Amino acid sequence: MIQKILEILHECCVDVYSICETGRETAELFFIKKNLDMRRKTKTDDIVVTVYRDFVINGENYRGNASFNVSPSTSDKELKAKCKKAYMAAKFVPNKFYDLAPAKRAECFEVESGLNGIGIEQAASKFVNAVYKEDTDENAFINSAEFFAVRDKVRIVNSNGVEVSYIKNNVNGEFVVQCKNPQDVETHQSFSYDDLNTKEISELVRNTLKLTKDRAKAVEAPKAGKYDIVLSGKYVDTVLGYYKDRANGAYVYQQYSDYETGKEIGADINVEYVPTVPYSSEGVGMKNLVCIEDGKLKNMHANCRYAYYLGMKPTGVYSKISVQPGDMSFDDMKAHKGLYVVNFSDFQMDSLSGFFGGEIRLAYYNDGEKIVPVTGGSVNGTIIDAQKDFEFSKETQETSTFAGPKAILLKDISVAGK
């Protein structure tokens, strides 16, 4: 199909282009309680073609772009019409000139993972077993679950001479835990792993069963005030993702972020960009790269356009970071006086302002003598203040978007409550 696209691009006089083809195979399993409700296998092929058009306005060089999707069923006539329409549209996108990813040719290879070589159906089954072996509680149970084992084969081609491809495996999905007594409550969890992380998914299920039972018992909201807050799991990823966003070249160039290479960022933290794929969708080679070292920004990450504007080498845009863990044990954190929030209705980090917060579904309040479950109220803080005395756990976690401390202690955070 790509050869046909290249021929049509030539016929339409498009000299600058980028093509990303993703062939995807999935094994999908849907459960109601412990019963398999539906099994499905899919195979799709999706191609995104981006065409570029160079022009001059008032003596300044510009490069506009527009994209369109192609499927195996797209006819030559449809393809040519899409190409002409996109090339015309690109004329109305006056971006300053930038270059595409430089020439690179490499053989296709499979991204290293424990999921390799076992097949997508078997990979899905391993995660199903890891989830349901924990579903033994009399008071809480898995109401429903969905599993998606994915195998992607990606090929990237551009007019500069990029010709690269790779294969990547992933298992993702979600499950809902329900507890009916003393009140009927549910907890939703999602997951995504690029490796055979069956121990991690089993631990997630165990923790979710426990917190759902405790949520069913919780009726009181915490008193309003300032608390030391402990967060764990996906919420650590959400908070620390702030640094990944602020170091994005697009944020920096558009002045949403004031980060500069070599500048102190205000936190004693070590962060590394971790590639989840060997090439960005533009064909830029991606590798482990230091983001923040001892509190100083060492490298930004950016796609071709913003890297060109910032005068840096394109790195691709990273979706995963690794953060160096701390010295404090998770048990010591939970024993700390304050609130250990285990579940929010919706927890968000605003990477533009640094504000984070969410409504508490379940937290454990430790007054120094006893620990009680509470629900209601909300956490409201800013990472600009909290980062001055972060505490990270020595225990770690890893998902498809984060590797680092399992928990974080944030001090003197505002809680709206009763």
- Nearest CA to 152 out of 69, 50, 67, 46 is that of 46
Q: How far apart are CA 21 and CA 266, in angstroms?
A: 41
- Nearest CA to 31 out of 147, 133, 119 is that of 147
Structural domains of the chain in order of their starting residue, each with its CATH number: 2-208 (3.30.2290.10), 218-235+325-416 (no CATH), 239-323 (no CATH)
Instruction: Output the pTM of the full model.
Output: 0.92
* Alpha helices by DSSP H, 254-375: 304-310, 330-335
Q: Is 350 helix (H, G, I), strand (E, B) or coil?
A: coil
The CA radius of gyration of the chain, in Å to the nearest whole number, is 24
Q: Is 94 exposed, middle or buried, given 0-12, 13-18 or 19+ CB atoms closer than 10 A?
A: exposed
Residue 196: how many other CB atoms lie within 10 Å: 19
Q: Which neighbouring-strand residues pair with 60?
A: 57
Q: Is 59 exposed, middle or buried, given 0-12, 13-18 or 19+ CB atoms closer than 10 A?
A: exposed
Q: Is 414 helix (H, G, I), strand (E, B) or coil?
A: strand
Half-sphere exposure of 232 (CA within 13 A, CB side): 24
Q: How far apart are CA 48 and CA 209, in angstroms?
A: 42
Per-residue pLDDT of the chain (418 residues; tens, 9 = 90+): 889 999 999 999 999 999 999 999 999 999 999 999 999 999 999 999 999 999 999 999 999 999 999 998 889 999 999 999 999 999 999 999 999 999 999 999 999 999 999 999 999 999 999 999 999 998 999 999 999 999 999 999 999 999 999 999 999 999 999 999 999 999 999 999 999 999 999 999 999 999 999 999 998 999 999 999 999 999 999 999 999 999 999 999 999 999 999 999 999 999 999 999 999 999 999 999 999 999 999 999 999 999 999 999 999 999 999 999 999 999 999 999 999 999 999 999 999 999 999 999 999 999 988 999 999 999 999 999 999 999 999 999 999 999 999 999 999 999 998 8
Q: How far apart are CA 54 and CA 235, in angstroms?
A: 44
Under 8 Å between Cβ of 294 and 270: yes
Q: How far apart are CA 208 and CA 315, in angstroms?
A: 37
Q: Do the bridges between strand 109-110 and strand 162-179 make them parallel or antiparallel, or are there none, so unpaired?
A: parallel
Amino acid identity, position 231: L
Q: Is 283 helix (H, G, I), strand (E, B) or coil?
A: coil
